[in-house]
Amino acid sequence: MNIDQATGRLFLIGIPGTEIDEETENILRDIRPGAIILFSKNIIDADQVRALIEDVNRVLGYQVAVAIDQEGGIVTRLREGFSVSPGAMALAATGRVENTYEASRIMAMEMKALGVNWNLAPVVDINCNPRNPGIGVRSFGDTAGKVIAHATAFVNAMRAEGVMSCLKHFPGKGRVSVDAHIDLPTLDVPLSTIMEDELRPFREVPVDSMMPSHIYMPQLQHSRVPASMSREILTDLARETLGYRGILVADDLGMGGVSNYFSPEEAAVEGLRSGMDYLTYCHNPDVQRRAKRALIKAVESSPELGRRLEESLERVEIFRRKASSVERGSLECIGTSENRRKMQAISDESITTILEDSSLIPLPVESITAIYTVRLSRQIQVEDGPKRGTPGVARELAQMVDSPLIDFDTKLSVEEATKLAESAPRKGVRIVFTENAHLSDGQRTLLTLLSQKTGRLLVIALRNPYDAFIEGVKNAVLCYGYETVSQKSLIKVLHGEIRATGVLPVEVPQEV
């Protein structure tokens, strides 16, 4: 294998579209990657995805590792026609790791049928900071024990179906308050704290690969660079302190946590030099080419970097062969009525209520005087939720009670919230659907002001459960995501068709 081929095998790249056109064929031949990653832009249906993967392998002349972010919940790439799982926090809210195993097994079975052999999941960040903008419901909870139990079930289910998994985001992003898609978060806590909390899942969950992210740890690093290109994190911490011998795959090196500080060329060279195995460039073919050219040039001029290339090449080739060796199943297993029934049953167990007034569930339809709803939005770049805008469950409820539906933006201002509250009915039950209201001054203001009026307030938190603990909120329903399965479960609870049996997977925060 020559240097062009060897460096190419260290690249995990995204491709432009849903088929192999001339542009896609050229980038595949130029990079000759060891792995590709699929996004929603690459997916139409099962037949098309399977054909796309076959064509990628045909063009390259060897089988690549095929990665995808199929976490479940708000990060779900395989959606239409597939069996969609509730997200991590919703699974944990069912209180049963068996549900996490079964939902993950169904996802893995459908992935394998396509030829997708590497799931960049589960998230094992411990969501101990309610104000974390990028993790939240993608985490199984706010304790290491809960995360480890459910992540282990997730990984074991993937393995049972022959799909590789990936623990992310090493060394842990649950405590930070900045989204690494936008900028570089800082995790400034002692190593002893990290070892007792953040690093426990990475030590204790069986693992095929780990994804270092873009985070700065001043207690461990001498200079302010992302963990994804820091020798102190990739080599000293992961390899020497933890004794990890598997694959390290970079989170997208085009994210703001890297690109605000390093060029694509610098990121590739420093990532490999510091200990990364797979270098991830998800979107821009020109950037992918530039990064590879820079890496070849650097390797040719540095014996040390050449040795690092050989080390990583050995690891990624073993991984690639293992990932691509699993036989695909039949496409007929995808989206079956039985798989969807199981996913819905699991989702039904996740809905959680926190009620001071138990008479609010089932809904007293005749007492509802106003329904307010947030318009769903893409709050983090990795998110890939269902249709944006007014949630279907809110529309259905408004039709059921023959009430106007008053919608508002997630970034509702305090002034707009005050006007909405002032015009609210002075009696009856007022229902508000929220999305991360605890992170929005406007949504918080709306809830607090409505709670001060006569009558009753019921908050339906469509995303993070922390909305239930905003000042004035005494009655809330939590569904940890707004996938179709979650919305169906929610409406069942509101109608009284099923009881809400979910358990809160995070401790009540002292303040939100």
- Judged by DSSP in three states, 376 sits in strand
State yes or no: is 251 an active-site residue. Answer: yes
Task: Give the CB-side neighbour count of residue 212, counting CA atoms within 13 A.
Answer: 33
State yes or no: is 47 an active-site residue. Answer: no
Q: Which residues partner with 373 through β-bridges?
A: 407, 433
Plot region of 250 (φ>0 → left; ψ -120 to 50 → alpha; else → beta): beta
Which alpha helices (H) appear in 130-169, and where do they start and end?
Answer: 144-160
Rounded to whole angstroms, what are the CA distances from 332 to 61, 186, 352?
27, 46, 34
Q: Which of 181, 252, 348, 407 is catalytic?
A: 181
C-alpha–C-alpha distance, residues 283 and 27, integer Å: 11
CB-CB contact of 101 with 165 (8 Å): no
Rounded to whole angstroms, what are the CA distances from 124 to 166, 168, 181, 387?
9, 6, 18, 27
Q: Is the dihedral of CA 188, 270, 249, 240 positive or negative?
A: negative
CB-CB contact of 122 with 151 (8 Å): yes
Q: Write out the two tokens for 486.
A: 């979650």
Query: Which DSSP category does 382 fall into?
Result: T
C-alpha–C-alpha distance, residues 220 and 73, integer Å: 33
C-alpha–C-alpha distance, residues 369 and 403, integer Å: 7
Q: Which of 69, 142, 251, 348 is catalytic?
A: 251
- Judged by DSSP in three states, 493 sits in helix
Q: Which residues partner with 371 through β-bridges?
A: 405, 431
The residues, ordered by sequence, that sit 6+ positions from 333 with a Cβ below 8 Å of its Cβ are: 109, 110, 113, 339
- Judged by DSSP in three states, 135 sits in coil
Closest to 250 (Cα-Cα) out of 229, 269, 231: 229
Which residues form the catalytic set?
181, 251
